[in-house]
């Protein structure tokens, strides 16, 4: 099995949609493997099939790949100003494609994303063909935190946000976490007082997110 970042594509409604799978050196074809789905932000949108690796989780893996013993699935949405829920069909097609090609652990599947991808993490966590053991929205938000909390109350969640974020106000994470806590859930929230919109470097590189993911199974 080839390791590293591998370019793939899938047909969706007659169109070719490109994505990337990261295969770690620890991958075993005869053993189910923990898997993360990573949703990029607005600026990485396009159809080149690679720019979704520019920010967030993929660079963190490049820095310390031994800390991330996961398969990672990285779709790319084509349009800057359309949010991830509009790409649900494409993401589902990619997940089905990945499941045919790789040994995916059914109880260790995780979802994370930054900015628009943080929004997508919240909005799609219960609406994709995979069930996720835990999710981590980074500088994300929900249009209706109360409704989102009802969907996510039984799912481990760790949110990250910069307190000086002007692109997505920190209330995007704070309001969701408060709504979850009102329902008796126990979400985690990490706020970075000195960071703006880019809190993803800190979240993916220094917070211990990989270990937290692996502490949760379905």
Q: Which residues pair with 5 in a beta bridge?
A: 22
Angle (nearest 5°) at CA 54 between 125 and 49: 75
**Does the pLDDT of residue 146 top 90, yes or no?**
yes
- Which residues, including other chains, have CB under 8 Å from residue 113's CB and lie 6 or more apart? 38, 39, 40, 41, 56, 84, 119, 120, 121, 137, 138, 140
Q: For residue range 48-98, what is the model confidence (pLDDT) as tens digits? A: 999 999 999 999 999 999 999 999 999 999 999 999 999 999 999 999 999
Determine the structural domain holding residue 56 and report its residue range.
4-214
What average pLDDT score do residues 15-33 get?
95
Backbone angles phi, psi at 22, to 5 degrees: -95, 125
Name the pTM for this structure: 0.97
- Mean of the per-residue pLDDT values for the chain? 97
Structural domains of the chain, count: 1
pLDDT of residue 207: 87
Q: For residue range 163-201, what is the model confidence (pLDDT) as tens digits? A: 999 999 999 999 999 999 999 999 999 999 999 999 999
Residue 113 contacts residue 83 (beta carbons within 8 Å): no
Q: For residue range 98-110, what is the model confidence (pLDDT) as tens digits? A: 999 999 999 999 9
Banded model confidence at residue 2, pLDDT cuts 50, 70, 90 = confident
Q: For residue range 129-143, what is the model confidence (pLDDT) as tens digits? A: 999 999 999 999 999
Only one residue has tokens 């989780």, namely 57
**Does the pLDDT of residue 1 top 90, yes or no?**
no
* Residues above pLDDT 70, as percent of the chain: 100
| Residue 73, domain CATH | 3.40.50.1820
């Amino acid at each position: 099995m080839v390791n590293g970042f591998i370019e793939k594509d899938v047909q969706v409604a007659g169109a070719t949609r490109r994505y990337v799978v990261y295969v770690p050196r620890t991958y075993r074809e005869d053993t189910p493997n923990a898997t993360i789905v990573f949703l990029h932000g607005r600026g990485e949108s396009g159809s080149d099939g690679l720019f979704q690796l520019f920010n967030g989780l993929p660079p963190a893996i490049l820095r310390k790949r031994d800390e991330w013993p996961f398969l990672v699935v990285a779709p790319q949405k084509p349009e800057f100003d359309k949010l991830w829920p509009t790409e649900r069909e494409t993401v589902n097609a990619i997940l089905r494609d990945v499941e045919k090609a790789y040994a995916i652990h059914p109880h260790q599947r995780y979802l994370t994303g930054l900015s628009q991808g943080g929004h997508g993490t919240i909005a799609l966590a219960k609406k994709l063909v995979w069930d996720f053991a835990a999710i981590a929205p980074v500088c994300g938000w929900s249009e209706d935190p109360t409704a989102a909390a009802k969907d996510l109350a039984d799912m481990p969640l760790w949110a990250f946000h910069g307190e000086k974020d002007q692109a997505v106000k920190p209330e995007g994470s704070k309001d969701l976490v408060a709504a979850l806590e009102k329902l008796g859930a126990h979400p985690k929230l990490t706020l970075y007082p000195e960071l703006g919109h880019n809190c993803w470097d800190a979240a993916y590189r220094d917070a211990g997110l990989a270990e937290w993911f692996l502490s949760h199974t379905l």
